[in-house]
């Protein structure tokens, strides 16, 4: 890949919310030039979602990555589904596979334990490259964790590219299964996971009502925050840790909210997410003047209102800036794949805690 030239790159992302495979196509030089071209989301079927959840539960009981028939089945299905997502995006964009230089393949996180020196993302980069006929960069997190970093969050370098030229200090908040914040102030780049975002709320409404998520935050809006439960949930050692730091989606559970009504539980868990955002902002060297919000949580008006009340900032949906808030993570891994191919860093001391800026990902080339 010629250094400095802009290329077409594709990114594939399946988050811990297990809602969809997001596929994005961008044109970028891996530095300051980014032009979004196309985006397509493929929802996971209930069967696939159940398989990936079962693989996650199996992996959580392990001491580290190892062979397991169920997990291997989940990885094979994940690979096939991502190959299908590539084909759909090529059709949507109207481009040939030969025009795409690289795919950034995040895979599916089933366990993230940087405190124990390991992280596990399902996804066979070599198989995907062979199936799609396009070079693939995968396994973005392992090198950072092996070097003593948290392995997450990785999107800050992409957030910095998108916000270049904006007045700061500002923060980009991603509300996925887990929430993470990127603080940008000139050359200062700090990032970390603030706490659960949609993950606990989704688990709560799934158990109580069989729902995928709290649509429009309606259940939370009808409920009352239980301050006793909220205080107990905030009494967790994670919030006392300095940044950078990262979480596994399963580090928190809905157990403290059990016994509350469906509505009160949804309200309390939403307030917990909002308060942990405020707790995170207090760790920053300066208070941001803008809070830009991406990820699925931006569609929840109750959660956005609670974040505004607890932070004193007006959350701005990333879409108001002309960004596609649903596509950002997939775009980010396309961008990082180009950086990886060019030996540019994707993680930094202020974002993952690694000792020095470092590149990451493993390149799987198509046999030619």
Instruction: Kindly report, residue by residue over 94-125, the tens digit of the pLDDT.
Output: 999 999 999 999 999 999 999 899 999 999 99
In 3D, which of 193, 367, 164 has the Cα closest to residue 295? 193
Q: Are 104 and 141 in contact (CB under 8 A)?
A: no
Confidence band of 222 (pLDDT split at 50, 70, 90)? very high
Residue 316 sits at φ, ψ, to 5 deg, of -105, 120
pTM score over 0.75: yes
- Domain 7-149+327-364 matches domain 156-313 at the CATH topology level: yes
CA distances 253 to 201, 202, 357, Å, are 10, 11, 33
Assess whether pLDDT exceeds 90 at residue 4: no
- Report the distance separating Cα 339 and Cα 151, nearest Å: 16
pLDDT score at 250 = 86
Q: For 313, which DSSP code?
A: S
Task: Report residue 18 CA to chain centroid gap.
Answer: 11
Q: Domain 7-149+327-364 sits in which CATH superfamily?
A: ATPase, nucleotide binding domain (3.30.420.40)
Instruction: Kindly report, residue by residue over 77-88, the tens digit of the pLDDT.
Output: 999 999 999 999
pLDDT score at 307 = 98
Instruction: Kindly report, residue by residue over 122-151, the tens digit of the pLDDT.
Output: 999 999 999 999 999 999 999 999 999 999
- Report the distance separating Cα 283 and Cα 15, nearest Å: 25
Instruction: Kindly report, residue by residue over 279-295, the tens digit of the pLDDT.
Output: 999 999 999 999 999 99
Fold for 156-313, please state it. Nucleotidyltransferase; domain 5 (3.30.420)
Instruction: Kindly report, residue by residue over 49-89, the tens digit of the pLDDT.
Output: 999 999 999 999 998 888 999 999 999 999 999 999 999 99
Average pLDDT over residues 232-257: 94
Domain boundaries, the chain: 7-149+327-364, 156-313
Across 252-284, b (16+ Cβ under 10 Å) vs e yields: bebebbeebebbbbbbbbbbbbbbbbbbbbebb
């Amino acid at each position: 890949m010629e250094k400095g030239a802009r290329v077409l790159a594709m990114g594939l992302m399946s988050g811990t919310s297990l809602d969809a495979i997001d596929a994005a196509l961008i044109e970028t030089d891996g530095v300051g030039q980014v032009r979004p071209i196309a985006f397509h989301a493929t929802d996971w079927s209930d069967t696939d979602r159940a398989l990936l959840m079962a693989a996650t539960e199996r992996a959580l009981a392990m001491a580290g990555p190892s062979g397991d028939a169920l997990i291997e089945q989940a990885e094979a299905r994940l690979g096939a589904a991502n190959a299908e997502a590539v084909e759909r995006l090529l059709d949507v964009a109207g481009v040939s596979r030969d025009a795409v230089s690289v795919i950034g393949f995040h895979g599916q996180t089933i366990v993230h334990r940087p405190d124990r020196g390991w992280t596990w993302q399902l996804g066979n980069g070599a198989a995907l490259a062979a199936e799609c006929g396009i070079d693939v960069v995968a396994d973005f997190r392992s090198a950072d964790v092996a070097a003593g970093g948290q392995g997450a969050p990785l999107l800050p370098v992409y957030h910095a590219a998108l916000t270049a030229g904006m007045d700061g200090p500002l923060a980009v908040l991603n509300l996925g299964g887990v929430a993470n914040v990127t603080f940008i102030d000139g050359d200062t780049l700090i990032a970390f996971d603030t706490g659960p975002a949609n993950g606990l709320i989704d688990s709560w409404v799934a158990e109580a009502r069989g729902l995928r998520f709290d649509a429009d935050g309606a259940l939370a809006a009808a409920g009352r925050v239980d301050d006793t439960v909220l205080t107990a949930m905030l009494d967790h050692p994670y919030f006392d840790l300095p940044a950078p730091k990262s979480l596994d989606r399963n580090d928190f559970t809905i157990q403290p909210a059990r016994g509350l009504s469906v509505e009160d539980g949804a309200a309390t868990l939403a307030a917990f997410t909002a308060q942990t955002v405020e707790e995170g902002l207090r760790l920053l060297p300066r208070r941001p003047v803008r809070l830009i919000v991406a990820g699925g949580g931006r569609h929840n008006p109750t959660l956005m209102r609670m974040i505004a009340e607890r932070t004193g900032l007006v959350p701005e949906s990333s879409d108001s800036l002309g960004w596609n808030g649903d596509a950002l993570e997939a775009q980010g891994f396309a961008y990082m794949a180009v950086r990886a191919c060019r030996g540019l860093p994707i993680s930094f001391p202020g974002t993952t805690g690694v000792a020095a800026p470092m590149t990451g990902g493993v390149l799987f080339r198509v046999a030619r």
